[in-house]
Structure 1
Amino acid sequence: MLRISTALIFIAHAVVRVYGGTIQRFGDYLNNKGFVFGVPMVWGITAYEVIGGLLLAAGYFCKWLSAGFILMLAIGIAIIHAENGWFVGEHGSGGSEYSAILIICLIVIAAADQKKKRQEN
């Protein structure tokens, strides 16, 4: 349940970005932060969230996909969320708490995948 719901969060995040038309805005934001090729980077992030999310939901490559998602979230904390504080909701605006809990979920998912592989051997 944790694996599937976490995967669906990433998929939904990507789908809203595409249908909400915010890829260009996010790409411009990354360019303003000093990154090059912001829009292609955002498309890469979006593709990873959709494809990786589908694979994660299906139970494939959980450890490796979790590592990629954790890296993506950690970078997001460093370049976007940390400057907005800790809280996301009523006590703040765009902070790190949401990303931090997703990282914890992904660590649990990766650990469960590793335990499952040990039991199979």
Structure 2
Amino acid sequence: LNVDLKQAYVRNVLSTSSAFQFLDTLKDKNGQYILQSNISSPSGKTLFGSPIKVVDDKLLGKKAGDMNMFIGDLKRAAFFANRVDVVAKWVENAVYGQVLSLAIRFDVKQADKNAGFYVTIKPPVETGATE
């Protein structure tokens, strides 16, 4: 966050709800929670001073329970090409005769690969063995 992400980029954190839940329970070696309260952050928490926005697990992952995050400048990392080309026309339908059809053209591509990092959290597996 401090070294590999260049200073020109905004430092935001986009997290799945499962990753947010996992981080919300973590403490550092001094017993302080990793996530700090901040009323100006969308989630009400910050990670190392960076605001966190929480999304559904399936939006950044493949299934429920995936703990994924994007840390960096999302606006510079993704290019959203909106062609402002909205088409609305009546088309023939076998059952209803004519129906109104709407089409919007857009595309999303990776813009700047250095603008952030995709992080997958894999918590340690507890074996249940005692020493």
User: Normalising TM by the smaller chain, what interval?
Assistant: under 0.3
Larger helix share, 1 or 2: 1
Larger strand share, 1 or 2: 2
Please tell me whether Structure 1 or Structure 2 has the larger radius of gyration of its CA atoms.
Answer: 2
Name the TM-score, length of structure 1 as normaliser.
Answer: 0.25
